[in-house]
Amino acid sequence: MEPEKFQELFHRLESEVSKVIVGHDDVIRKVLIAFFAGGHVLLEGVPGLGKTLLVKSLSQVLGMSFKRIQFTPDLMPSDIVGTQVLAESDGRREFQFKKGPIFAHVVLADEINRATPKTQSAVLEAMEEKQVTVFGESYALESPFMVLATQNPIELEGTYPLPEAQLDRFFFKLLVAPPSPAELKEILQRTTGAESADVSRVLSADGVELLGGMNQLLRQVLIAPPIEDYVVRLIHATQPGSSNGDPAASPVKQYLRFGSSPRGAQSVILGAKGNALAEGRVHVSYEDVAKVVYPALRHRIILNFQAEAENVNADQILGALVKQVPRT
Amino acid sequence: MRELSGQNSWENPERLVSRLVAQLSHQVLWDSLLCFSPPLLVFIYMAGYLYHGAWVGPLAALLVTLVSIGMGILVVTFRYRPLVPSVAKASRLVDEHTGAKDRFLTLATIDPSRSPAALVARLRAETAGFLDRIELRRDFPYHVKNSSYASLIGSALALLLFHLLLPVAHSTLTSLPAPQRLREVAEKMAARPRLLEITRSLQTLAAKLEDPRVAREERRALIEETQKKVGEQQKKEEQKDDRDLLGQAASTLKDLEQQSGAGQDRQKNNEKGGGGMQSNLPQEGQGKGKPSPGGGGEQKGEMSAQLSKDMQQGKTAQGDPKEQSGEKNSPKQGDGKSNQPDPNRPDPNKPGMEKGKDSAGKTQGGGDDKGGRGKASEEIPHGTPPADRFHQAGEQGREGIKGARYVTVQLPEEMAAETKGEKGGNKDAKGNRVGSKVPVSNVPLPAHVPDAPTETQQMPLEYRGIIR
């Protein structure tokens, strides 16, 4: 695939989703980057910001199968991955595997933190290995496969915060901010009027193949070794134990319990490549890295009690790191 | 810009980055050289200067120079190498200047063989579009860094300090005893056959200088003689090293001559004083002073400065306590105390003074006492002053005066009178001259100098109060 075609498709997808989602351009772009990079996205925001609508719109424009799972405390793993049911065929009774909602191209895990850890972990295998195992038998998921999970930062009572291992599976964690007054006005005009905006499908029937090509092109994007070194330094700087002599050590040692895993570096590089392609370039720049550092690492660095007590969030620490870690 | 485009059209982005690396490396090298060359040159200059001034030998000078050069090369290398920009840094600079968004960086640092050729070609084509935006000489001109200026100024200051401190060091180093310096020079000369004669002369001179029995006149004559020899040899000598050694010897001899000359001048000055006060304080450079040949008894060969009668009575010398405070520093004309001449003023009684000297001259050669005191006066007195000058209060002095804690001062007119009186012979039964019954100074009378100017020697402060 040509980079120009990638860019053209990317922009068409963006514009189509933007027809129903007012604002959140950055969120839309990042979701698309994660999708083309083969990652999953955790969307965090208060209710009513259009998280679910975003995911639904994305699946529509992509022309992919879409399933929504509303996570509740009583949700069972089998409700997600499927289960064996006793079925009668040709006079014989036998167990048949009934696929759960996880078997779709785009899966919306709505309010994922409301399910029990057991249920949450059921999604774990699907997200990482793109397969599920039921009664000892593995079932591969269709490609492309993307989980878009949402969680509410408020109303934490009765919720089960995602374990670090599961958080690490998400390519990006995107914060959905409340709309600005202008955006809110636009939302009102679009949703309270007689006409309703519909999104159209961008990808044709051969969209799956096309998406495969886009994914391959994204991974071929050129990245200079010094930029890779910079990413390595950034990731290394998030480790509280191994940042001796590093100028970025002070906030990290003070506020972090754990640093980013190597998956964080992968996310940064792939995200930067996706961003470069989206901007029509075939090489990664430092700016691309800076743009994806926050969504790629904010859920991978674990804050300590002092940070929470002092109301320091991950983005503040990452901001300090980006400033302090030298680029060359 | 069209010309610029034409200039850059032949090169690709990678070559541009390489050229920039080379250019920046040269600039860093210049920086290092400009930073470290001034101190290095100063070091070499100092070594050369010290060598030419015969402070250090040729080997030491060469060693210092070589070590300085070696250190300079090391320091320049150590400073230069880490500052040489890498390809990544240089390409980032180009990116910043052209706004190429790390295209130059990517192109200059990726391995094309491991990257998709299509993407590399596309990137190269994109990057080439930015070549027109940069001109290395224009965008990366060389500027002399502040460190270079600081180094230059610091080196100049060091040079200035060197020249300022050199005389101090010279005086410190040459404060060694002259004989020792002469021996050192002689040792150096000993290795040169042509200078053997000078070497022997210097060694002899050093030995004589250390021998207290050798008279000053003899020493001086020896110094002059050696100086002549050295001077003659210097004129003959063609080799630079030998000339330097002879120069050292000449310098040391000159110092010796100046010392002895200064001593003579000082003695002459002392001699010029008429009836001033005599002291036995250490005096340098009395080598030229005429030694008292002896004779004249105890009092012969020494100048007896005597107080006036009023002073002898203690009345005037000590002063009236009531008057002392008010008049101590403001002597009145006509007062008995004002009879004391101001040693700073020209002595109006010059004839008297001359007579006094005459009388001193007459004392030479007579009497049984063979100049013991006269000879002793040539030596530099050490330690405490003679007991007869500073008796304790109430103590019986040598001359039988109780409570005499002062030295006598003889005014010119008194000296004249005494001289006249001596003609009659103020001698005891043995024929020795009987001195006055007051404590006297033990400093010998200076040699007579005809038409000598008046004494300019300052009266020591310790005596002024007593006299007034």
Identify the contact set of chain B against chain A, taking CB-CB distances under 8 A. 86, 88-89, 92, 101-103, 105-110, 115-116, 119-120, 122-123, 126
Which chain A residues are closer than 8 Å to B101 by Cβ? 281, 285, 287
Q: Please check the confidence at residue A105 and state whether its pLDDT lies above 70.
A: yes
The predicted pLDDT at position A281 comes to: 92
Q: Which segment of A91-105, A108-122, B345-359, B444-458 scores lowest on mean pLDDT?
A: B345-359
Q: Please check the confidence at residue B310 and state whether its pLDDT lies above 90.
A: no
**Beta carbons of B101 and A328 less than 8 Å apart:** no
Select from A220, A221, A227 the Cβ nearest to the Cβ of B102: A227
How far does A243 lie from chain B, in Å, by closest CA? 24
Select from A220, A224, A225 the Cβ nearest to the Cβ of B119: A220
Select from A221, A283, A328 the Cβ nearest to the Cβ of B103: A283
C-alpha pair distances (Å), B62 with each of B49, B52, B54, B239, B247 = 12, 12, 13, 19, 21
Q: Which band of pLDDT confidence, cut at 50, 70 and 90, is reported for residue B284?
A: very low
The predicted pLDDT at position B273 comes to: 42
Q: Please check the confidence at residue A75 and state whether its pLDDT lies above 80.
A: yes
Select from A222, A225, A226 the Cβ nearest to the Cβ of B119: A222
Nearest CA in chain A to B121: A282
- For the residues B116-134, what does the mean pLDDT come to? 89
Residue predicted with more confidence, B213 or B361: B213
The predicted pLDDT at position B428 comes to: 47
The predicted pLDDT at position B178 comes to: 75
Residue predicted with more confidence, B84 or B414: B84
Report percent pLDDT > 70 for chain B: 52
Q: Please check the confidence at residue B338 and state whether its pLDDT lies above 70.
A: no
**Beta carbons of B101 and A285 less than 8 Å apart:** yes
The predicted pLDDT at position B452 comes to: 65
**Beta carbons of B119 and A225 less than 8 Å apart:** no
Contact status of A216 with chain B (Cβ, < 8 Å): no
Q: Which segment of A129-133, B14-18, B206-210, B296-300 scores lowest on mean pLDDT?
A: B296-300
Residues ≥6 apart with Cβ < 8 Å to B383: none
Query: Which of helix, strand or coil describes residue A28?
Result: helix
The predicted pLDDT at position A240 comes to: 85
Q: Which segments of B334-388 does DSSP mark as H helices, in order?
A: 350-362, 372-378
| B80, two tokens | 């230069």
The predicted pLDDT at position A40 comes to: 93
Which of A239-243, A254-258, A292-296, B335-339 tops mean pLDDT?
A292-296
**Beta carbons of B122 and A226 less than 8 Å apart:** no
The predicted pLDDT at position A137 comes to: 85
Q: Please check the confidence at residue A100 and state whether its pLDDT lies above 60.
A: yes
- For the residues A18-43, what does the mean pLDDT come to? 90
How far does B2 lie from chain A, in Å, by closest CA? 27
Q: Which band of pLDDT confidence, cut at 50, 70 and 90, is reported for residue A174?
A: very high
Query: What tens digit of pLDDT does each residue of B374-385 get?
Result: 444 444 455 555
**Beta carbons of B102 and A222 less than 8 Å apart:** no
Task: Annotate A56-94 with b (16+ C-beta within 10 A) or e (fewer).
Answer: bbbbbbbbbebbbbebeeebebebbbbbeeeeeeeeeee
Please tell me the class of the A3-191+207-211 domain. alpha beta
The predicted pLDDT at position B332 comes to: 40
Q: Which band of pLDDT confidence, cut at 50, 70 and 90, is reported for residue A244?
A: low
The predicted pLDDT at position B419 comes to: 61
Contact status of A278 with chain B (Cβ, < 8 Å): no
Contact status of A328 with chain B (Cβ, < 8 Å): yes
Contact status of A220 with chain B (Cβ, < 8 Å): yes
Side chain identity at B13, as an amino acid letter? P
Q: Please check the confidence at residue B447 and state whether its pLDDT lies above 80.
A: no
The predicted pLDDT at position B255 comes to: 76
**Beta carbons of A284 and B106 less than 8 Å apart:** yes
Residue predicted with more confidence, B307 or A237: A237
Q: Please check the confidence at residue A313 and state whether its pLDDT lies above 50.
A: yes
Select from B89, B101, B106 the Cβ nearest to the Cβ of A222: B106
Q: Please check the confidence at residue A315 and state whether its pLDDT lies above 80.
A: yes
Residue predicted with more confidence, B413 or B97: B97
Q: Provide the pairing of β-strand A131-134 with A106-110.
A: unpaired
Average pLDDT over chain B, rounded to an integer: 68
Q: Which band of pLDDT confidence, cut at 50, 70 and 90, is reported for residue B454?
A: low
The predicted pLDDT at position B157 comes to: 94
- For the residues A122-143, what does the mean pLDDT come to? 86
The predicted pLDDT at position B230 comes to: 84
Is the pTM higher than 0.80? no
Q: Please check the confidence at residue B162 and state whether its pLDDT lies above 60.
A: yes
Q: Which segment of A93-102, B77-86, B166-175, B201-210 scores lowest on mean pLDDT?
A: B166-175
Burial category of A121 from C-beta neighbours within 10 Å (exposed 0-12, middle 13-18, buried 19 and up): middle
Select from B86, B89, B123 the Cβ nearest to the Cβ of A222: B123
Contact status of A219 with chain B (Cβ, < 8 Å): no
The predicted pLDDT at position B246 comes to: 82
In a mutational test of the A interface, the residue from B101, B111, B114, B126 whose CB has the highest number of chain A CBs within 10 Å is B101
Distance, in Å, from the CA atom of B140 to the CA atom of A6, rounded to the nearest integer, reads 38
- For the residues B305-325, what does the mean pLDDT come to? 41
Q: Which band of pLDDT confidence, cut at 50, 70 and 90, is reported for residue B300?
A: very low
Nearest CA in chain B to A328: B89
CB pairs under 8 A between A and B: 57
Q: Please check the confidence at residue B436 and state whether its pLDDT lies above 60.
A: no
The predicted pLDDT at position A173 comes to: 94
Select from A3, A220, A224 the Cβ nearest to the Cβ of B105: A224
Q: Please check the confidence at residue B100 and state whether its pLDDT lies above 50.
A: yes
Burial category of B94 from C-beta neighbours within 10 Å (exposed 0-12, middle 13-18, buried 19 and up): buried
Superfamily of domain A221-324 in CATH is Magnesium chelatase subunit I, C-Terminal domain (1.10.8.80)
Which chain A residues are closer than 8 Å to B92 by Cβ? 226, 327-328
- For the residues B395-424, what does the mean pLDDT come to? 58
Which ipTM was obtained for this model? 0.85
The predicted pLDDT at position B391 comes to: 54
Nearest CA in chain B to A221: B119
**Beta carbons of B123 and A283 less than 8 Å apart:** yes
- For the residues B39-68, what does the mean pLDDT come to? 85
Contact status of A244 with chain B (Cβ, < 8 Å): no
Q: How many CA atoms lie within 13 A of B173 on its CB side?
A: 12
Q: Which band of pLDDT confidence, cut at 50, 70 and 90, is reported for residue A43?
A: very high
Q: Please check the confidence at residue B297 and state whether its pLDDT lies above 90.
A: no
Domain boundaries, chain A: 3-191+207-211, 221-324
**Beta carbons of A225 and B101 less than 8 Å apart:** no
Run of H or E residues at A12: helix A3-20
Q: Please check the confidence at residue B252 and state whether its pLDDT lies above 70.
A: yes
- For the residues B296-314, what does the mean pLDDT come to? 39
Contact status of A225 with chain B (Cβ, < 8 Å): yes
Terminal-to-terminal C-alpha distance of chain A? 32
Select from A282, A284, A327 the Cβ nearest to the Cβ of B122: A282
Query: What tens digit of pLDDT does each residue of A251-290 get?
Result: 888 888 888 999 999 999 999 999 999 999 999 999 999 9
**Beta carbons of B102 and A225 less than 8 Å apart:** no
Burial category of A308 from C-beta neighbours within 10 Å (exposed 0-12, middle 13-18, buried 19 and up): exposed
Which of A31-40, A192-201, B179-188, B423-432 tops mean pLDDT?
A31-40
Q: Which band of pLDDT confidence, cut at 50, 70 and 90, is reported for residue A235?
A: very high
Query: What tens digit of pLDDT does each residue of B144-153 get?
Result: 889 899 999 9
Select from B88, B122, B126 the Cβ nearest to the Cβ of A226: B88
Q: Please check the confidence at residue B348 and state whether its pLDDT lies above 70.
A: no
Distance, in Å, from the CA atom of B37 to the CA atom of B144, rounded to the nearest integer, reads 14
- The dihedral sign for the CA sequence B399, B401, B404, B406: negative
Q: Which band of pLDDT confidence, cut at 50, 70 and 90, is reported for residue B392?
A: low
**Beta carbons of B110 and A225 less than 8 Å apart:** yes
Q: Which segment of A305-319, B230-244, B375-389, B434-448 scores lowest on mean pLDDT?
A: B375-389
**Beta carbons of A287 and B101 less than 8 Å apart:** yes
Q: Please check the confidence at residue B14 and state whether its pLDDT lies above 60.
A: yes
The predicted pLDDT at position A316 comes to: 92
Q: Which segment of A2-6, B11-15, B410-414 scores lowest on mean pLDDT?
A: B410-414
How far does A220 lie from chain B, in Å, by closest CA? 7
Which chain A residues are closer than 8 Å to B123 by Cβ? 222, 282-283
Contact status of A7 with chain B (Cβ, < 8 Å): no
Q: Please check the confidence at residue B296 and state whether its pLDDT lies above 90.
A: no
The predicted pLDDT at position A166 comes to: 83
**What is the SS3 assignment for B397-459?**
CCCCCECCCCCCCCCHHHHHHHHHHHHCCCECCCCCECCCCCCCCCCCCCCCCCCCCCCCCCC
Q: Provide the pairing of β-strand A172-175 with A41-44.
A: parallel
Q: Which band of pLDDT confidence, cut at 50, 70 and 90, is reported for residue B176?
A: low
Q: Provide the pairing of β-strand A106-110 with A146-151.
A: parallel
The predicted pLDDT at position A247 comes to: 55
Report percent pLDDT > 90 for chain B: 5
The predicted pLDDT at position B216 comes to: 78
Q: How many CA atoms lie within 13 A of B80 on its CB side?
A: 20
Query: What tens digit of pLDDT does each residue of A222-233 get?
Result: 999 999 999 999
- For the residues B242-248, what does the mean pLDDT come to? 79
Touching B: A residues 22-51, CB under 8 Å: none
